[in-house]
Amino acid sequence: MTSMEEVHSFLSQIPGLAESVTMDKAMSFVRLASQLKDEIILAQAADYDLAAAPTEIPENVRSFLGCATDMPEDFVSGCWSAFSDTIWSYDNDGRSTGRDAQMFRDFGLDHLLSARTLFPPTKQCTTPGCLNSNLLKDKDGLRKVVLFTLSDGACATYAVHLHCSQCKTTYHNNYSVCNGVRTYYAGIPNAIQVGEHQYVEREVLGLFIGLMLISWTSATNAARVYDTCLSKPENRPDHKDWPPTRSFKLRTEHVWDGFLILSLLEDYVERNEILEVPHTGEQNVRFNNAIRKRNARFRLCGQPEWAHYCDKCMRVWKDGDGLKKLHVLVIDGITIGHPCCGVHDCPEPLITNRHRFCRGHDHRHHICAVEGCEQPVEPTFMTCPIVEHRQLELTHKTRDKALFQLRGRLQRATVSHPNDAFEAEVTAEEVEEMTIRDSNQGDCEAAKDPSGNRKIRALFGRRRTHNEQIFVRPCGIIVAHATFYASESVSQTVDMLQKVFHVEGSKPDIVIYDNNCTLYKYLRVIQYKPE
Ligand SMILES: [Zn+2]
Ligand SMILES: [Zn+2]
Ligand SMILES: [Zn+2]
Ligand SMILES: [Zn+2]
C-alpha cells in the first residue's frame, strides 16, 4: 500500500498535477480504475505478472479516465503512477456498497446508526411565518422502522422526526405535521411510508405497479413475490434491539397504501399542488377525501388521455382542398362488481366492506331484508318476525353453510392454491327468493295472483355494482371510465358520452357498442349530432 507521502512525491513529478488533484478526484480515479482491472490486464504482454500493477494502461482506459475525471492524459498517467498500487490491491467487491451495508449491519445497530436512516429533507423549520431559524432537534429519539428495498431486501433502519419548538410542527421523512394536518413535501420521496414503522422504496412500488398492469398480479401476490424473492432474510439483523418477533414481512395493505400514496403524489406533483390529509384517525380512511377529489376531477375534466388520437384509432385523409377525419370509440361494460350500498343506485361508499349499507342508509341494517318489508329486525336476525321472512333467511343460512363446507373440501383438494384466490372463486348467492302462499291478497281483483301465490325476495349479502363502463379507443387507450351501480342502461351511456365529449369537436365519429341499435335510436330521438 502506498503512503500519502509517496503519493505526493509521485504526483509532484508532473508539474501542476499535485495542485489540481483534489481528494474527490483522486477517490473517483481509484474507484473507476479499480473497476477496469480486467481490461488493463487484457492489454498486457503474455508473461506479465498479475501480482503487480502494470506501469502502462491501455489507450482507451487512459482516455476514458481523462474524460471521467476531467484531466488531460498526462495527468492521468501521473495519477496512475501514484495510485496504481492502491488500485491493484483495491478489493472491488469487498469495498462496494454491499460490503459497506454489511459493516452497518454488523456494527451500526449497536451505535444506533444505519446507512439508510430516514431523515426529513429539511434541517430548519419551513413553516411560513415561523421565526425559528435554528437547526431543528429530534423528537423522542430514533424510531425503529423496516425499509423494503429492491437491492438489499427488507432492511432494519431508523426514522428521525424533527420538531420545531416554536410553531410545534413535526417534520417526518415524507411529510410535516401541524395541528393534526399531514402535509406531504413537494416532489416524490425515494421511500414512501406505508405504515407506522414501514417504508417501501419507490422502485419496489414501481415493480408492484408493473406486476399489476402487465401480469394482473394482486396486491396480496405482489407482497408474496417480495417476501419470497426480494426480502433477503439473510440480511436481517441478529441484534437484541431487533427481536425475531419484529416483522419484516410486507403485507397486502402496505402494497395498496404504497400504490395509493405514490399515485396521489404523482398526480399532485403533475399539477404543482401539495397533498394534505388528516394525520389523526385510521390509515384506511386517511386518503378517502383526496381520492374522492381526484375522482371528481377525472369525471369533470376526463382522464388525462381523453383527447388521445393516433394512427391506429384515427384516420385522416385529403378531401378536396381540406382534410377529413374518422375517430373511433369502443364502449363496453366490464363486470367487476365492487361491494356497494344495498339501496338501489346509491353511489355512497360503504364504511367498511363488512357493512351492507352506506353511512347515510345505516338505519337499513336494522330493517327487514325482505324487499318491500319495513318492519324492524329481531336481534341476531336480518329479518322481521313474520314467519315467511324468517323462513327465507333460514333457507339462505343453510345454503351458505353448504357452500362453506364445499369451499373447505375444494381447499383441501388443492392445498397449494392461495387462500385469497378461493375467496374470489366461490361466493354465496346473496339474493334469496321464495314463493309463498298468499292468503291475504287484498280486495283489488287486478292485483290478485290466480294461483294465490306470491314471490318474496331479499338481499342477505352485500349488493355489488353492476359494471364499470369503459370508453376505449381501438388502439387500447382508455379515455373514460365510470361505475354503473344498478344497470347498464342506454340513457346512462348517452349521458356519459355527452359529459366526456362536451368540448366542441371532440365527439367520436363512429361508436362501437354491443347495444348499438338502441343507442343509435336513442341518440336520434335526443338529436345528438356527431361532428
Ligand atoms: Zn417552526
Ligand atoms: Zn390511439
Ligand atoms: Zn346508500
Ligand atoms: Zn319482514
Q: What string of pLDDT tens digits covers the 531 residues of the chain?
A: 678 888 888 888 888 888 888 888 888 899 899 888 888 888 888 888 888 888 888 899 999 999 999 988 888 988 998 898 888 887 665 545 567 777 888 888 888 888 889 999 999 999 999 999 999 988 888 899 999 999 889 999 999 999 999 999 999 999 999 999 999 999 999 999 999 899 999 999 999 999 999 999 999 999 999 999 999 988 888 888 887 777 899 999 999 999 999 999 999 999 999 999 999 888 878 998 999 899 888 877 778 888 899 999 999 999 888 999 999 999 999 887 788 898 888 888 888 878 889 999 999 999 999 988 999 999 999 999 999 999 999 988 888 787 777 777 766 665 444 444 333 333 445 778 888 776 665 555 554 566 677 888 888 888 888 888 999 999 999 998 888 888 888 999 999 888 888 888 888 999 999 988 999 899 888 876 655
8-state DSSP, 229: I
CA of 179 to the centre of ligand 1 (A): 12
- 3-class DSSP state of 77: helix
Q: What φ, ψ does residue 378 adopt, rounded to 5°?
A: -90, 150
Domain boundary among 29, 62, 89: 89
Instruction: Find the domain containing 34 and state its range.
Output: 4-89
CA angle 378, 380, 384 (to 5 degrees): 25
| pLDDT at res. 269 | 95
In a domain, 383, yes or no: yes
d(CA 403, CA 360): 32
**CA 160 from centre of chain:** 24
- Collect residues with CB below 5 Å from ion ligand 2: 310, 312-313, 473, 475
- 3-class DSSP state of 173: coil
Q: Are 74 and 114 part of one and the same domain?
A: no
| pLDDT at res. 441 | 53
Is 392:434 a contact under the CB 8 Å cutoff? yes
In a domain, 303, yes or no: no
DSSP H or E stretch at residue 323: strand 322-334
d(CA 495, CA 252): 37
Q: Shortest CA distance to 182 belongs to which of 290, 263, 291?
A: 290
In a domain, 94, yes or no: no
In a domain, 306, yes or no: no
d(CA 448, CA 30): 97
| pLDDT at res. 272 | 94
Neighbours of 360 (CB within 10 A): 11
d(CA 145, CA 156): 6
Instruction: Name the closest ligand to CA 329.
Output: 2
Q: Are 83 and 230 part of one and the same domain?
A: no
Domain boundary among 69, 89, 109: 89
**CA 391 from centre of chain:** 45
Q: Shortest CA distance to 145 belongs to which of 196, 203, 205?
A: 196
| pLDDT at res. 421 | 39
The owner of cell 444505519 is 114
Into how many domains does the chain fold? 4
**Phi-psi category of residue 216: left, alpha or beta, with phi > 0 → left and psi -120 to 50 → alpha:** left
CA of 295 to the centre of ligand 2 (A): 23
CA of 458 to the centre of ligand 4 (A): 9
Neighbours of 67 (CB within 10 A): 9
Q: Are 30 and 156 part of one and the same domain?
A: no
C-alpha grid cell, residue 221:
401476490
* DSSP code string of 85-105: HHHHH--TTTTSHHHHHHHII
d(CA 464, CA 350): 11
Residues in CB range of 265: below 8 A, 6 or more apart: 184, 188, 192, 275
d(CA 211, CA 206): 9
Is 222:208 a contact under the CB 8 Å cutoff? yes
CA of 503 to the centre of ligand 4 (A): 50
CA of 166 to the centre of ligand 1 (A): 5
Q: Are 343 and 242 part of one and the same domain?
A: no
Instruction: Name the closest ligand to CA 178.
Output: 1
Q: What φ, ψ does residue 200 adopt, rounded to 5°?
A: -125, 135
Q: Are 365 and 438 part of one and the same domain?
A: yes
Domain boundary among 464, 480, 503: 464
CA of 430 to the centre of ligand 3 (A): 18
| pLDDT at res. 419 | 47
Q: Are 106 and 153 part of one and the same domain?
A: yes
Q: Are 134 and 181 part of one and the same domain?
A: yes
Q: Are 242 and 346 part of one and the same domain?
A: no
**CA 95 from centre of chain:** 34
| pLDDT at res. 203 | 95
Instruction: Name the closest ligand to CA 309.
Output: 2
Strand partners, 154: 148
In a domain, 176, yes or no: yes
Is 134:124 a contact under the CB 8 Å cutoff? yes
Q: Shortest CA distance to 80 belongs to which of 5, 15, 7, 3?
A: 7
Instruction: Name the closest ligand to CA 134.
Output: 1
Residues in CB range of 14: below 8 A, 6 or more apart: 74, 75, 77, 78
Instruction: Name the closest ligand to CA 126.
Output: 1
Q: Are 384 and 283 part of one and the same domain?
A: no
In a domain, 309, yes or no: no
Q: List Cα–Cα distances, 39 to 43, 62, 318, in angstroms.
A: 7, 11, 59
Q: List Cα–Cα distances, 448 to 181, 196, 335, 441, in angstroms.
A: 62, 63, 37, 6
* Direct distance between the N- and C-terminal alpha carbons of the chain, in angstroms, rounded to an integer: 80
| pLDDT at res. 529 | 64
d(CA 301, CA 307): 11
| pLDDT at res. 281 | 85
In a domain, 61, yes or no: yes
Is 204:150 a contact under the CB 8 Å cutoff? yes
d(CA 36, CA 92): 10
CA of 492 to the centre of ligand 2 (A): 25
In a domain, 305, yes or no: no
CA of 22 to the centre of ligand 3 (A): 70
d(CA 330, CA 313): 10
Is 452:468 a contact under the CB 8 Å cutoff? no
CA of 42 to the centre of ligand 3 (A): 75
Neighbours of 42 (CB within 10 A): 10
Q: Are 407 and 473 part of one and the same domain?
A: no
Q: List Cα–Cα distances, 133 to 122, 178, 359, in angstroms.
A: 12, 18, 46
CA of 380 to the centre of ligand 4 (A): 14
Q: Are 111 and 211 part of one and the same domain?
A: yes
Q: Are 488 and 499 part of one and the same domain?
A: yes
Determine the angle formed by the axes of helices 4-12 and 73-89, rounding to 10 degrees: 160
ipTM of the complex: 0.75
C-alpha grid cell, residue 357:
349499507
